[in-house]
Amino acid sequence: MKLLHREDVIEAGYDLPNTGLFASIGEFELEELKFGGEWVLAENEVLVTDGHEQRYLYMLVSGEVAITKKNDQGNSQQIATLSAGAAFGEMAFLSGGVASADVQSIGECILWRIDHERMLEFIGSNGTAGGQLCLNVASILSGRLVDGNKKVVDMGKELQASLAHLQQAASAGTQKDQALKQMQGKVANMQNAFKGSAVQKSKSNWVAVAASAVALLSMAGLIGVFMAGDDSSEAEAAGLADKVVKLEANEEFYLGLKKKLEDENKELSKERKELSLKNESLTGELASKESRSMSDVQGLRDQLSQAKRELSEAKDDIVRARRVTPVQPTTRPSAPVETGKSESEEILAWAKRNTTLIFPCAIKVTKQTVNLQDKAKLAKIPVSVGGALRAMSYHPSSPEYLVVAQPVGNKFLATLPITNSNFVEAVKPKYEKYAKGAGSAGSRMANPLASKPKPAARLSSQLSSAGQPAKSSVPTSLDGQGDGGAPKVAKGRPKGPQKPENVLDQLPAKTPGGSKKKPDLSDHGANCVCKDCRVSKIGKGGSLFPDL
């Protein structure tokens, strides 16, 4: 025998039939069974040996197999021939026993087989299909038992008729030879009938075959006993009747097994329907939850859009408010003095307000070793106590930590508590410089990007030159409020008023003698590009090339 691979089966296009053993099994489960078992190629080989362990259930896909049985003399006798679609080996497969006959392939055959473990695995994972498979096996067994019991009953009737003839022959000595010949003829006819029915039927019954063999042996024994006496024939008939009773009991057992499997199949179908209903209910609940969540998300999106619109309006208000610039005070407020704080706390508070003046800042590690890592976290660079680092900024979620890097390069970064570095000492010189410059008119340490205020005297002169009287009351508060509470706005005029378009024509011409007069351009032509013509045409708003 040769086991076929999955690729060989697919390439050859072998499929399991949907009748017999695989009747009423779905396409998906049938496909799973197709590659759940083994595919075998046999050519004139013995597949099952009588008396040996048999643990496979076979299905004949193509070809034919012969079922043979050895008699008492050791000669093999063919009792059945199976064709494609027939199953065999189910009795020994279910009972876990040994085979009761030999099975040999006739020519080349393709067979499918499955063992106990794979069969149980399929039944466990496919409840409905597994139950249907068990029902099909039980149906095959019950059909064979019914056929076997019918044959046994017919044999019993024939034996009873033969016994009646033997009793009549015993009473009439002259008819003894004739009765023996008639009995031998009936026995031969029974043998031929069994052989013919076994060859025609594709599904053989091992129990029926065994019962037939027992019946034939019993018939031969009855003939021998008749030659000796009539008492033993009655005992043989009684033994045959007991065997018939046992076969009927076996039939009842398998019918009960079939009914049990049908009940289990109904329960599995009921559980499957319940699971389908639960699945539908869960799907509906999930859909409703998704719709509610989508509505909530839409509400949040609307709120976010409203907030964005309000923020945009607020930005527009800020821009419009910035167009009115209040008069800058003549004096700067003194540097803020923090009361109740230590010097280091004041330095840290000032550093948090002036991050653009502080970072980047060179610092050193004072406590614990710092491990710098790249973004992919593939490499680490340890920096021990006393090592130099560069503070890049405060940690975005925790101002008590610094984001530090190497003195040169930003590839490797780490977070460092402020208390584990000399950050305060490194920032202190800048803070002292700020404290010295705070309060002076020329200091712009707090905000180097702020515009310089105009001097008060120059502002007063501009107001006077614009035709408005200079006001001596200049607000000194930061909010730009005067005595009446209204903001004081400085109004000015442009330094250079707009010139007329013929300003060049009004300019006096320069002559070598020093006198200024207008140049004569009458003979230069319309396309002349000399200096005087260019000045004249551009001043009048014309073009140097009128033809174009």
CATH value at residue 16 = 2.60.120.10
- Nearest Cα to Cα of residue 399 among 383, 381, 419, 385: 419
Are 317 and 237 within one domain?
Answer: yes
Overall size of the chain counted in residues? 548
Q: Is position 462 within any domain?
A: no
User: Which residue range is the domain that position 194 belongs to?
Assistant: 130-325
Instruction: Give the contacts of 64 (CB within 8 A, at least 6 positions apart).
Output: 81, 82, 83, 84, 105, 106, 107, 109
Q: Show which of 414, 437, 460 is a domain's final residue.
A: 437
**Domain total of the chain:** 4
In the prediction, which pLDDT does 125 show?
A: 85
Q: Is 117 helix (H, G, I), strand (E, B) or coil?
A: helix
- Is 497 inside a domain boundary? no
pLDDT for the residue numbered 62: 92
pLDDT at 98: 83
166, 173 Cβ separation under 8 angstroms: no
Whether 391 is in a domain gets the answer: yes
For residue 295, being part of any structural domain is answered with yes
Instruction: Write the single-letter amino acid at 341.
Output: K
Residues 277, 150 within the same domain: yes
Query: Which residues on neighbouring strands pair with residue 380, listed in sequence order?
Result: 373
Residues 309 and 377 in one domain: no
pTM for the complete prediction? 0.34
- Are residues 114 and 134 located together in one domain of the fold? no
User: According to the model, what pLDDT value does residue 106 have?
Assistant: 92
Residues pairing with 391 in the sheet:
361, 404
Instruction: For residues 118 and 227, state if they share a domain.
Output: no
Q: Are 204 and 107 within one domain? A: no
- 249 and 194 both lie in a single domain: yes
Task: Please give the Cα distance from 189 to 182 (Å, whole number).
Answer: 11
159 & 116 share domain: no
Kindly give, in sequence order, each residue whose CB lies less than 8 Å from that of residue 211, ignoring residues fewer than 6 positions away.
Answer: 148, 151, 152, 155, 243, 247
Residue 340 placed within a domain: no
Does residue 188 lie in a domain region? yes
Domain boundary among 437, 461, 492: 437
Of 125, 150, 166, the residue that ends a domain is 125
Indicate if 95 and 108 belong to the same structural domain: yes
Within a domain: 216: yes
Is there a single domain that holds both residue 97 and residue 83? Answer: yes
Q: Are 191 and 297 in the same domain?
A: yes
Q: Domain check: are 141 and 117 in the same one?
A: no
At 467 the pLDDT is 44
Contact 462, 471 (CB under 8 A): no
- Residues (pLDDT < 50) of the chain are 194-211, 213-218, 220-231, 325, 327-339, 439-446, 450, 456-484, 548
Which pLDDT tens digit goes with each residue over 163-190?
777 666 666 555 555 655 666 666 556 5
